[in-house]
Amino acid sequence: MISRRKFLASTALATAAVPGALLHAQAPHAKPEAALDVMSYNLRYAAATGPNNWPSRRPLMRDLLLQERPDVFGTQEGVYPQLKDLASDLPDYRWIGLGRDGGSRGEFMAVFYRPDRLEPLGFDHFWLSDTPEVMGSSTWGNSNRRMVTWVKFEDRRTKKTFQFWNTHFDHQIELARQKAANLVRERMAKAADPEALILLGDFNAFSGNSRSYEILTKEAGLTDTWHAAKSRSNEDANSFNDFSALRREGRRIDWVLFRGQAEVDHAAVVTTQSGTQWPSDHCPVTARITWK
């Protein structure tokens, strides 16, 4: 069993080839040296059977991530064996996480990062409940335990420090989502380095049309990278595809928010698939951020 502060890392021997059929969804011009590419990606837990089983999806997800090459990304729903697979497919990354049921049990809010670019200075976890320090706690009627994993990073290139928070709000209970947003707002207000923080994840609520979004943007003062971006890709794409034909209603339940002085060069919903096979039932959302 993994202790609460156990650091999980991966190394591998070779980088997998990226097929030319994948479309790169990041900013269409050269990346500035100080820019940071960030991604939120709900992986969909690893099912062993069915048309969208993990063995079928794994190579597509590997290729998408190697193509996009985010400097840091947060995942939701990944379970421990699945994350180990992903880590072995991504030799240039390391990761930090804890199962939401404790140790290696349950889904993770894992944080993957490129150690050549970012150095973790500290990390921790808390649960979205009335007892956030109690591992695996759930007090708002939601059947699935929900949590936040956060990491404090120093950018080796710019020496800028910032916090990176990754979460997954409940998919069934609106009150639980609102309580989660308020708890995150309260915890962020107490966080060190308050001027530089990224919060991302699967919020199971539409951006711009939910109380939890309002709490985090209007009340907590976070900025949505989507609206701050100078340019966007797939502006009308939904971030949840449900393993079916992509719907173009502009509904995003996966957000990348930030606090602090920053410019957002580009934001995207990445709609890469192979034929009719999606890597996950969510499309990853990305943002290219430069701290001022």
pTM of the model: 0.91
**Sequence letter at residue 204:** N
pLDDT of residue 27: 59
Q: Determine the CATH number of domain 36-291.
A: 3.60.10.10
Please check whether residue 79 is in contact with residue 45, taking contact to mean a CB–CB distance below 8 angstroms.
Answer: yes
* pLDDT at residue 18 greater than cutoff 50: no
Residue of 135, 139, 134 lying closest to 103 (CA atoms): 135
Q: pLDDT-derived band of residue 195, with 50, 70 and 90 as boundaries?
A: confident
Q: What is the pLDDT of residues 46-99, one digit of tens each?
A: 999 989 999 999 999 999 999 999 999 999 999 999 999 999 999 999 999 999
* pLDDT at residue 21 greater than cutoff 60: no
At 64, give phi and psi (nearest 5°): -60, -45
Q: Which two tokens stand for residue 190?
A: 């107490």
Alpha helices in the chain (DSSP H): 54-68, 80-89, 174-190, 211-214, 225-228
Q: pLDDT-derived band of residue 10, with 50, 70 and 90 as boundaries?
A: very low
Please check whether residue 48 is in contact with residue 54, taking contact to mean a CB–CB distance below 8 angstroms.
Answer: yes
Percent of the chain with pLDDT over 70: 90
CB-based burial of residue 20 (10 Å sphere; 0-12 exposed, 13-18 middle, 19+ buried)?
exposed
- DSSP state for residue 113 in the 8-state scheme: E
CA quadruple 134, 136, 142, 146: dihedral sign: positive
Residues facing residue 274 across a β-bridge: 277
**Angle of the 54-68 helix axis to the 80-89 helix axis, nearest 10:** 50
